[in-house]
Structure 1
Amino acid sequence: MNGNRFGRLFEVTTYGESHGEAMGVTVSGCPAGLELDAEDIQRELDRRKPGQSMITTSRGEPDAVKINSGVQDGYTTGTPIGMVIENKDAQSGKYEPYVTAPRPSHGDFTYSAKFGTRNWGGGGRSSARETVNWVAAGAIAKKINETHGIEVKAHVNQIGDVKAGKVTWEDMLEHTEENEIRCADPEAAEEMRDLADKYQKEGDSIGGSIYFEARGVPRGLGAPRFDSFPSRLGQAMFSIPACTHVEFGLGKEAREWTGKDRNEDWAFDDNGDPVPEGNKHGGLQGGITTGQPIYGEATWHAPTSIPKKQQTVDWETGEEKEIQVVGRHDPVLPPRGVPVVEAMLNLQIVDFMLLSGRINPDRLDGDVGEYDTDYHPRSPDNME
C-alpha cells in the first residue's frame, strides 16, 4: 500500500491504524536549529483530539506525543524527526458486525475489494484518526513558517445551511478558539451548535465547510502545471477524509464573473514591484503565489457513521441485513477539521519555501543568499 508519504523536500511519512497500538509520523527535511519540544506539538494535537465537547466523538484519547528522534537539547538537528502518539481507548469489538457487512459510504467495501483484506477495527488506515499524524507534522511546519513571518488560520464558516457572516483576519485570530464550533462569528457559532445538536439527537449527522487563509507568504512559490501551488494545495486538502470540494479565491463563484470584472489593475508596492490591486484570485496566479493573502474554502460531507439504522449486505452470505453503527463518532466534522486544514496548508507552504530556496535546507539560521527563482536544492548545480 503506497500513498503514505507527501511533500518533496519537507517530507512527511506516516503509519498507524485507528484501533492499532499507535499512530506515528516521520518528518524529513526539517532544517537544523529550530527550537522545538513536545509542547509545541501537543498544543496543536489538543485542538484536534477527540472528546473536546458533546459534539465530538467520546473516544478518550489524550493524544500525547512523544518525540523519538531529530531533536537535541530543545533544537532540531536536521535529521528525521520521529513522533509517536499511542492509541489508549481503542474498542475494536464494536466493529465486529461489519467484518463482512460494509458500512454504507465507508471505505470498508473498497479497501476489501482492492486488497482482499482490511483492518476492520474503526476503519483501520482509512479512519480520520490518521490525521493526528498530519497535525503533529504541521506543528513543526507552523513553527518554521512563523520564523519567516507567515501565519495560517482557518475557521468553520458553514454547518448545514447556517453560514457565518463576514469575518476579518483579526476576527479569526480572536474568536475562532472561543467556541467549540471554531467559528469566528460568535452568533453563527451558536446557530451551528444548535443544528449539530439537532442532528446528533436524531441519530444523524450534517456536513459543513472551513475557510482558510495564509498571510505573509512570499511571491514566487509554486511551479507550472502539476507542481503548481493550487494543484498541490488541492491534493493536500482532498487527502483529508470526507473532503468533497476545495476552492481558492472566487472559487466556484468565478463562473458568474466576466473576465473584465475578475481581472485586476496593477499598482506598485513599497519596493516598486507591480502587484494586483485586488485579490479575487486568492493570492495565486498562473499556479504561483503573488505575495498577497492565500485564501479558500474546503467542504466536508456529513459523517457516514451514524446511529440511525441502515441497510447493507453481507458479502459472505449474500443476504441483506440491517445495521446500526454504535461506535463513537462526530456528528459534524469541520470543528475538529480546522487544525487539520491549518496543518496541511502550513506543510504545503514550508515545502514550497524549501523548494524555492527561501529556506536553507540544512540550517534554519543559514544564509540562502539573494533569492533566485531558479534555485532548487536538489539540482546538480546546487549540490556538493
Structure 2
Amino acid sequence: MKITILGAGVIGVTSAYYLARAGHEVTVIDRQAGPALETSFANAGEVSFGYCSPWAAPGIPQKAMKWIFMEHAPLILRPKLDAAMLSWMLKMLMNCTSERYALNKSRMLRLADYSRLALAEVRSDTGIAYDERMQGTLQLFRTQAQLEASAKDVKALAADGIPYEVLDPDGCIRAEPALAHVRHKIVGGLLTPKDETGDCFKFTNALAAKAESMGVRFQWGTGIMGLEVEGGAVKAVVTDRGRILSDSIVVALGSYSPMLVKPHGISLPVYPVKGYSLTIPITDASRAPESTVMDETYKIAITRLGDRIRVGGMAEISGYTNDLGLARRRTLEHSVTDLFPGGDISRADFWSGLRPMTPDGTPVIGVTNIRNLYLNTGHGTLGWTMSCGSAKVLADIVSGRKADIETKDLAVSRYAA
C-alpha cells in the first residue's frame, strides 16, 4: 500500500520504519527541515519501561492545590478560555481514581514493556547508536510519605511482571554512586532495572536515515492543511505543496493531531502539556548520574547522555505556547544541583516542548471511524519510551495482521463510552 505519515517526530519516524519493513510504500511529511525538531528534540532522555505512570492519579487534585503555592512546582496551570483545555482537564480529573489509575497504568505498562522488546529489535537490526545506556531508572524519594505512596506502583509492576527493587538509601547509592554526597536527603527509592536512557534526537535521525535507505520518502518543509475524505474513507492529504493521494494515512502530529481530524467528526482528547529541559556539559563525572534518576519531589528526570546531563520534566498546562519561563529553568537547576552538582550550569541549553497528553495517560493508536485513517499520537511524556512498540502495533493494524498485544483499548473508540 501507499501510506502517508503526517509528522516526523520519534512516533512518525518509527512508524515509517516499521511500515516500510512490512513492505509498504511510505512517505513522511513534516513542516520542519528534518526529523525530531519539535517535541522529540530535547526530551528527558529516559526510556521508562517500568517507570511508566499516568499523570492522572489519586491525590493529584489535592496535590495540585498545594503545588500552586510551591516555588518549584511540578505542575503549572495557566487556565484560558479554551474549550479544549477545559474539556481535557475535566476528563483528566475523572481519571484520578484508584480504579482508573490501576487500569490506565496496566495499559501503559503493557505497551511500554512491548516497546522495550521492539526497541531492542530495532537496535539489533539497524546497529544505530544514540548515547544509549541500559542501567535502569531510580525513582528517588526524599520523604517517607513518597516511599509509602509508591506501594500502588509496586503493586502494578508486580501484577504485570515488570522487574523492580525497593531500595533503602544505601541501595540507592549502589545504583547511583554520586548520591553518596547527598545521602542525608534520601529516604529510599524504587529501581526499575530494565529501563534505558538515550538521546531521542540522535535515535530518530539515525532511524530516519535507515528508513530512507529502505525506500521511505521524507518531504520536509511542507505544511499540512487538511484531509480529503470521500464516502467515509480518507483519500488524500492537502499540503501547501499540493494534494498527496494515499491508500492510508497515519496521523502522528502529536499535540496538533486533534485539529486535523476534528473536521471529520473525530473527537481526539489530546492536549499539549509543556515540558522543559536543560542539557548540561559534565565537568565532574563522580557527581553525575550513571542512568536516570527521577526526583519524585519535583517530578524531574536527571539523565546521563554521554558527556552531558539532560534534566527534564514539569507539566505546564498553558496551551500551544513554547515560551521559556525563567522560573521553570530555576526549578530544573535546583533539582539537578541539589543532587548532582557535576555539570556546568552556566553552559546549559534551555528548551521546551509540547507533549501530546491524553487524559488517561495511554496513547491513541489504531483505526478511526474514517476508513484508512489511522492515529498514532497522545504519548505524553512517554513518546520515546513507547515509540517502537506503538509503531510495531500500528504496522500490524494497518497491514491487517493480528498484533502481539491487545490493542482494542488503545484506539480512540475507548473514549466513546
Q: TM-score range by the shorter chain?
A: under 0.3
Say which structure is richer in strand. Answer: 2
Could you say which structure has the greater relative contact order, defined with CA pairs below 8 angstroms and 6 or more residues apart? 2
Task: Give TM-score scaled by structure 1 length.
Answer: 0.24
Task: Give TM-score scaled by structure 2 length.
Answer: 0.22
